Amino acid sequence: MRPWVELYRQHQVLRVMNDREAANEVRQVLRKLSEKPYAVLRRDAQARLVEGRVPQSPSVQYTLGRERAGEELELATLPPPLHDAVALRSARLAVLLRFDRRAERLQELNIMLSGQRHDNSPWAVAIHLPHDRQTAERPQGDRDGLGACGHAALHCHVGPTLEVAPKVRVPFPALRPAQIVEWAVSQVVPTAEFEPAPWSGVEAMLRPS
């Protein structure tokens, strides 16, 4: 049980962050993803991460596009070597980050890529961190499911859709929102151009100084 308790603690520590700093980190990733020659988002995607107030709440949220619609990846315009590595015909990136600004706390995270394979079958990957607020309707807060193993607080769904059984929830490491966006896109475009931590760079950083 101890490793799962420690993972839950890490997820709680992860929540402590300034919303403006976290949003700017995500914008830096979106900017890179919209720059040629390997752009998978429309130009200036960082400007479309919009801030808004949550009605009847002190919370602030950031979404990619208004109404949480997300943004289509421009997979068809990738250069041929990259395009050949993509197993999807279409994909849409959605981002929702909700914060308690005063407490500097990440309340909720939802980053999702959904689309269709070349045979038109559906595919989706989604990383969720549920709202941690404890209410009469949700006294457990972010402790969903049966436990911290089967339903870790920060977890990832992968499947044809999020509703197809078995609903697999993969425990996710305590990464900040920007790194989660990087990871999600790297799964759709699995090429060196979209790998934020290539092994050559990792090996260099691991060498004794």
Write out pLDDT tens, residues 48-88.
999 998 888 889 999 998 767 789 999 988 888 888 889 99
**3-class secondary structure, 94:** strand
How far is 115 from 166, CA to CA, in rounded Å?
A: 19
Q: Which residues contact 181 (CB under 8 A, 6 or more apart)?
A: 26, 29, 30, 93, 95, 111
Percent above pLDDT 90 for the chain: 74
The residue among 78 and 109 whose pLDDT is bigger is 109
Residue 149 has pLDDT above 90, yes or no: yes
Which residue matches tokens 């962050």?
A: 17
What sections of the chain are H helices per DSSP?
2-14, 19-33, 80-83, 177-188, 199-206
pTM exceeds 0.75, yes or no: yes
| pLDDT value, residue 28 | 97
| pLDDT value, residue 158 | 92
Q: Which residues contact 130 (CB under 8 A, 6 or more apart)?
A: 108, 141, 142, 144, 153
Closest by CA to 196, choosing from 29, 31, 46, 48, is 29
How far is 100 from 138, CA to CA, in rounded Å?
A: 18
Is the Cβ–Cβ distance between 153 and 130 less than 8 Å?
Answer: yes
Q: What is the pLDDT of residues 112-145, one digit of tens each?
A: 999 999 999 999 999 999 998 877 677 777 888 8
pLDDT tier, 165 (very low <50, low <70, confident <90, very high otherwise): confident
> Which range has the worst mean pLDDT, 22-36, 102-116, 156-170, 174-188?
156-170
- The overall average pLDDT reported for the chain is 92
Phi (first) and psi of residue 143, to 5 degrees: -95, 70
| pLDDT value, residue 19 | 97
pLDDT, mean of residues 175-199: 94
Percent above pLDDT 70 for the chain: 99
> Which range has the worst mean pLDDT, 43-52, 134-143, 175-184?
134-143
pLDDT, mean of residues 137-156: 87
Phi (first) and psi of residue 159, to 5 degrees: 175, 180
| pLDDT value, residue 81 | 82
Letter for the amino acid at 133?
R
Annotate 180-209 with b (16+ C-beta within 10 A) or e (fewer).
bbbbbbeebbebeebeeeeeeeeeeeeeee
